[in-house]
Amino acid sequence: MKFIADLHIHSHYSISTSKKLIPEYLDLWAGIKGIKVVGSGDFTHPGWISELQDKLLPAEEGLFRLKQELKIDQDPPMPEEGEVRFLLSAEISTIYKRDNQVRKVHHLILVPDFKDALAIQRRLAKIGNITSDGRPILGLDSRDLLEITLEASEGALFIPAHIWTPWFSSLGAKSGFDSISECYRDLSDHIFAVETGLSSDPPMNWLCSFLDQYTLISNSDAHSPEKLGREANILDTDLSYEGIIKAIKGGSPAGFGGTIEFFPQEGKYHYDGHRKCAINWDPLQTLKHNGLCPVCGKKVTVGVMNRVAQLADRDALPEKGTRPPFFSLVPLKEILAEIAGVGQQSKKVAAAYNRLIEKGVTELDLLLHLPISRVKQAGGELLAEAIRRMRNREVLIREGFDGEYGRIKVFTREEGAAMGNQGTLFDQTQPGAEPVPSQPPGDRPQRAVLINFDFNEFRRRHRAAQSQPENNENNNRERKKFDFKELNPEQKRAVEHCSGPALVIAGPGTGKTHTLTLRIAHLILNNNVTPENILAVTFTNKAAGEMSKRLELIFKNTQPLIKGINISTFHAFGLSVLRENSKSINTEVLANRQFFLKY
């Protein structure tokens, strides 16, 4: 039997989650989405497991269903064969110290019955507080949590959760681990699958051969019922706990039919950056900037693509071969919001969404399988074209970074302006509805490219940087020696200011050149700003030359640190910009301005 399973969610007992995360609404929304098996989430919380026991009944082996009297009415009603099943699941956060480094790792646990769930709950209650949050935070080594799980439940499946997330995962930038086996040590043979998370997809994970031994699964990690199914698993097996676990452990297309994915660029940790400073970088840009934000001087948050590229041992994305398929989708409400030109939570989008569901189609079936001709009948030409483009990966992408979700769009700005609210879905005016705006093929979204930076150049430069720890250590020692004792308080304030713009008003003889010179030194030595990111401009060649000489004296023992600083006059800098961009400058405009080029 082929069905969809979303096994990692939360309950209303978890922090920052919807109060509607109760069995009744989970059952309702799983049915609307087209999900057959949904994880219970948070079985370690005493209040939640009690609620589950009160509201669920046994169904197939290891699965449960909502009591009939608790079901929320649907129109049209769900057929009996479409009834949702629950599988007991929980996410656990472990924060601990290993080898003098703090580790923060999240884990997903599946169990076959309430007896095993309660056994794990009792063990964990002796270690930490399991009642303050649906996802408990325990001071427990990841390896030891795995051991406790295996001892308490023979049938449990233990899965490293969202493995690439920077802050809480087994392989993220802050984890300190470079492999799954490092994290779980002698018990790593009991890991059969890993959850890839919203900011990566299977091809990204295929770049790392050490992950070939694991089944790559995807789940929504939903914090509200409406978010169910934004990522999920396609299974082709018996509808039972044992059948699901065997399919995941086996990982072959015969039982594990693949995954439903976000476009990974939409994930909120796909790229690197600083949300506060509006810095959004691909991995190569981060490397070129030495990982430091040019606005505030602090380290940027290293995202998933960067971390995957660091650990990758394949030069390019491998062919799919016999691997299970995957499908990259945009949630239906996002598409409807783009067509209508309004927010996803608007009443207009909600009404259009409900009209589609009332036609007897689930969201995932509409996005994945429904023939485009039938999509057009149900929702109009614009929706049909949007879904056709999404299925063909013809999308426009703005990558997510540092906790901010990315944006996937299917229409260009010009198309959006031209189409307004056309089509049958929003205005219900079928006669005379305008077609999708006609655009030349080159003006439409192109097929999405997963890696749009020089991947091999990043790997080469990253490895070169990793092979020179001694030089980096010497530079850091040199940086710590530098101070500004000779400055007066006003000069010191000007030198040490690093966040946002600053205006310093000073008259003749107040040490302007000296202060600017030491400010540059401070940015490089004490704030790790790369020299290539510094531009110093003056009015005269004399002042520019003086600053260069003083910096050479300051950095006489570490000359490589100042290589690349751009110190020049305003006019010389302007000339350099013209020369670098000469091919894109309208030569006719400049024809009568030869003095610019002769300066």
CATH superfamily of 483-580: P-loop containing nucleotide triphosphate hydrolases (3.40.50.300)
Q: Which residues of 260-281 are buried (b: 16+ CB within 10 A; e: fewer)?
A: bbbbbbbbbbbbbbbeebebbb
| Dist. CA 219–CA 159, nearest whole Å | 12
Provide CB contacts within 8 A for 510, sequence distance 6+: none
Residues in the chain, pLDDT under 50: 421, 428-442, 470-481, 587-599
User: Is 284 in contact with 453 (CB distance < 8 Å)?
Assistant: yes
**Quick one: pLDDT at residue 468?**
67
Instruction: Look at the block and give the residue holding tokens 């308080």.
Output: 489
Smallest CA-to-CA distance from 51 within 137, 134, 119 is with 134
Six-digit token string for 481: 């020696």
**Quick one: pLDDT at residue 477?**
40
CATH of domain 1-330+397-410+445-467: 3.20.20.140
**Quick one: pLDDT at residue 306?**
97
User: Is 555 in contact with 561 (CB distance < 8 Å)?
Assistant: yes
Cis peptide before 23 (omega within 30 of 0): no
Cα angle, residue 444 at apex, residues 203 and 220 outer, rounded to 5°: 40
**Quick one: pLDDT at residue 152?**
97
**Quick one: pLDDT at residue 342?**
92
Chain centre to alpha carbon of residue 283:
14
User: Is 406 in contact with 398 (CB distance < 8 Å)?
Assistant: yes
Instruction: Look at the block and give the residue holding tokens 């198309």.
Output: 415
Dump pLDDT digits (tens) for 178-191: 999 999 999 999 99
Domain ranges of the chain: 1-330+397-410+445-467, 331-394+411-443, 483-580
Chain centre to alpha carbon of residue 104:
17
User: Is 282 in contact with 449 (CB distance < 8 Å)?
Assistant: no
Smallest CA-to-CA distance from 9 within 94, 77, 110 is with 110
